[in-house]
Amino acid sequence: MIGILILFTLAAVAIQKTTAGIIPLTDWLLQHPVETYYAETADDNYEKLWTGNYKYVFSGYNADGKEQQITKVIDRELRPGAFLRIDASGSYGKGWTEVREEDVSEEALLQLN
């Protein structure tokens, strides 16, 4: 029984340190609907993983200005101050694209500034 608990703990730590984390992973597994959010990168919203990837945590806003915390693992460091369009399923960031400030929805831009 102790061995199973230790194995489970090690698996949880490995998931947390090599992926977007446990909560975003469960959001992905539960197949929340995909929504588009906008975020702005900063100097302090990422953690460098031992795999060489970067785990970012964004405060994203949809076209109506609704906030969602989004976690996304990216293979490179992003430019600070860049605007991103992120497709997310719950808190799991599925895909992203850098966009111009004028491409960000007005409500989302109000929340970001």
Q: Provide the domain limits for residue 70.
A: 2-112
Q: How far is it, in rounded angstroms, from Cα 27 to Cα 42?
A: 24
Q: Has residue 62 got a pLDDT over 90? A: yes
pTM higher than 0.75: no
Cβ(30)–Cβ(62) below 8 Å: no
Distance CA 73, CA 65 (A): 24
Total domains in the fold of the chain: 1
Q: Indicate if the pLDDT at residue 110 is higher than 80.
A: yes
Least confident of 22-26, 42-46, 61-65, 87-91: 22-26
Least confident segment among 5-9, 48-52, 76-80, 96-100: 5-9
**pLDDT for the residue numbered 94:** 84
CATH number at residue 75: 2.40.50.480
